Structures are given as C-alpha cells and as structure tokens.
Amino acid sequence: MASFIEISRYNLIPLSVTSLCGCPCRLLSNGTLSRSRRTPKLKLNLVFHGSERLFRVPPTSIYVSRRLITAVARAEPESIDKIKANEEIDKGHELPVAKDSLSELQHKSSQLRKRVVFGFGIGISVGGAVLAGGWVFTVALAAAVLLGAREYFKLVRSRGITAGMTPPPRYVSRVCSVICALMPILTLYFGNIDISVTSAAFVVAMALLMQRGNPRFAQLSSTMFGLFYCGYLPCFWVKLRCGLAAPALNTRIGAGWPYLLGGQDHWTVGLVATLISFSSIIAADTYAFLGGKAIGRTPLTNISPKKTWEGAIVGLGGCIATSVVLSKILSWPASLLSAIAFGILNFFGSVFGDLTESMIKRDAGVKDSGSLIPGHGGILDRVDSYMFTGALAYSFVKIILPHKF
C-alpha cells in the first residue's frame, strides 16, 4: 500500500532541479538533500491549506528517508509560531501585546481627562478663594494644610523612611496635623505667627521627650520639619494676601469692580501680588512640563529624573513672561525690572519646593503623596510648588518693594 504525506501550514523546502534525482537522499537541517540508504518509495501529495492536492510527485521521482516527516516538521520551527499568530489574528483574537498597549493607552487617556477636569475645578476654586480673601481664603488654606500635613506624616511613617529612622508616634502626628491647620487661622487673627510656632514646637518636643520607651532624635527632627514645612510656610500666603492691605490704585480692573464685592478698595497689593505669584507658578509648571516633553534631554537632578534642564529653562521663560504680562494688566509692580525679578523669584521657589517634596517621596518609596485628587495624586503633589514661594514673595514685596505700595 502506498503511503501519503500532506505538508500543510509549513514552509515548503525549496529543492533544486538537480536534487530531484533518482538517487537515495536524505534531508539535512539546512534544507539540502544528501545521500541515504534506500527505503520504500513514498508517494507525496503536496498541499498548502485544505485537503486539495496541488500536484503529485511520481513514486519513481525521489527516494526519501523514514525521518522525512520529522525533518519537514522541524525545518523552520519559528514559522510555526508566526502561523499560529496569524491564525489568532484571523480568528479575531488580539495578541496579549496589543491588548496591553491598548489598555495602557486607554489608561493614559483617562488619566489625562481626569487631570484636566479636576485641574480646572481646582483652579476655579482656588481663584475664587484668592479673590474673596479674608476668612474664606484662610479657612480654605487651613483645610489644605490639614490634608497636606496628614499626607506628610503618612510619608514619614512609610516603609521606605522608617527603614532608616524611628517615626514619631501616631498621636503626635495627628496633633501636629491639627496644629499646622490652626497656624494660618492664628496668623490672620493675630497678624503674626512667630509666638504660635514657637509654642507649638515646645509642646510637641515635650510630648516626644516624655513618651514611653526610648525617644529618638529622628522623631524630633521629622516632627519639627513637619511643623515648619506644612504649617509655618503656608502662613506666609495669609500674610501676603491678607496682610498687605495697601490699595493697588493703578489697577484698571479695580476701578470697575462691583461695590457689593468691595469696590476698588478690594484690590490691594496683597491680592495683586498673590494673583501674579499663583499664575506664575502655574505657568512655570506648565511650560516646564511641555518643554521637557518636547526638547528635554539633560536631567536636572537625580531627585526627580523626569525633570530636565531644557524644561526648566522653558519654565523660567514662561514664568517671567506671565509675571510681566500680568504686571502690565494689573499695573503692579510699576517697573519692568521688578516684574522680571518677581517672576524669577517665583520660579526658583516653585522648583525647589517641588524638588523638596520629590525627595521626601523618593525616600518613602512612593510615586504620589496620596490619591485624594484623581489624576493629580495627593494635596502635597499639587501644593509643593507653593510651599517656599509664599515666603519668598512676601519678603520680596515687603522688603524690596515697600515704596511701590
């Protein structure tokens, strides 16, 4: 009885005309034929897909080895994987790589959508609080400080930081978070925060020293920095917005401001300086991000590998331009040089505030300080650029530009 071999879904092995000889041959791994012992004749039906034969090889044309079937099956094993992949695509099944890429793209699109939507919401809310001033601005700032302080002490107690230090007790962290939230309110009420900060630091230090067990310096240092970083520094925004009450007489917007909303007297130097500073910080972050994405090549620092020198230069230019444009619109400060200096100051305060929070997160081993704001992370991730800037802006306006009031 004649035997049949069907070669389906495999690449055919090319044979030269001279190879189809009547001599005994065997198939080598490189696709060539060599002599072998004679075996019974095999009749070959060659097909590609399906059962319909394309042509018949006469039984007298070629002698093959008994290992021909195995040799053909192993001729090009990588082609089998390709064919299986094609079959999966033909059946409408996507490959895992394609699924992962599509899922990642959808996730990034969703995150960008959330970032934009919540960014606009936060911007409108913060802008309204800045315009309102007084207790509205202070209470909103105190709420943000409370949430930010809780995130800070959570980072201090994280596994990455506790591996090298002893964190403060949980009750001390909670008390410090409340004290930090009260500092802006005390600043508005008393007009000065120095005594309050000193008293709070003394109380916290006593609580740490009198605790059971073995008090550690790391507990004291991390707690004191938390009071300074999360409580004391934000108070300068209250001093800038609410403390500099001199009217900005040349502001055109103030001339047409509704009387029910405070009239022209509502537009003070503190309000104008806060608006310019906030807008400059937003511009610095935005332009630095876009510049880094477009032309960023040289890393700025190891603390935050995604930041580049090119992005920082673009951010500096955007920050200065925003400060100058708003100074022309709001007619403050009067000189161009002062507006440029104010923009540069805001930029450096923004950058170093961002890097400080990045250093804390890097030591903690986390990407975001929290997950409170969808698409943005935690409160500290959004306000880190404002931490040092308030103190710098207040000092610049109060000390360098007192005659411009």
The average pLDDT across 380-395 equals 94
SS3 (DSSP) at 164: coil
Q: What are the phi and psi torsion angles at 5 (to 5°)?
A: -125, 125
Q: How far is CA 133 from the centre of its chain?
A: 31
> Residue 72 is inside which H or E element, if any?
helix 68-73
Tens of pLDDT along 131-189?
A: 999 999 999 999 999 999 999 999 998 888 888 788 888 999 999 999 999 999 999 98
Closest CA to 156 of 222, 204, 209, 221: 222
Query: Is 70 exceeded by the pLDDT of residue 22?
Result: no
Backbone phi and psi for residue 177, each to the nearest 5 degrees, phi listed first:
-60, -40
DSSP one-letter string for 213-274: S---HHHHHHHHHHIIIIIITTHHHHHHHHH---B-TT-HHHHTS-GGGTGGGG-BHHHHHH
- What integer pLDDT is reported at residue 403 of this predicted model? 55
Helix, strand or coil, per DSSP, at residue 41: coil
Q: How far, rounded to the nearest angstrom, does the alpha carbon of residue 207 sit from its chain's CA centroid?
A: 37
Q: Which of 313, 289, 319, 321 is nearest to 393 (CA)?
A: 319
For residue range 173-211, list pLDDT tens digits in order.
999 999 999 999 999 988 888 888 888 899 899 989 888
Using only the alpha carbons of the chain, give its radius of gyration: 36
pLDDT in tens, 355-380: 999 999 998 888 888 888 776 788 99
Phi, psi of 387 (to 5 degrees): -60, -55
- Spatial separation of the C-alpha atoms in residues 253 and 258, rounded to whole Å: 10
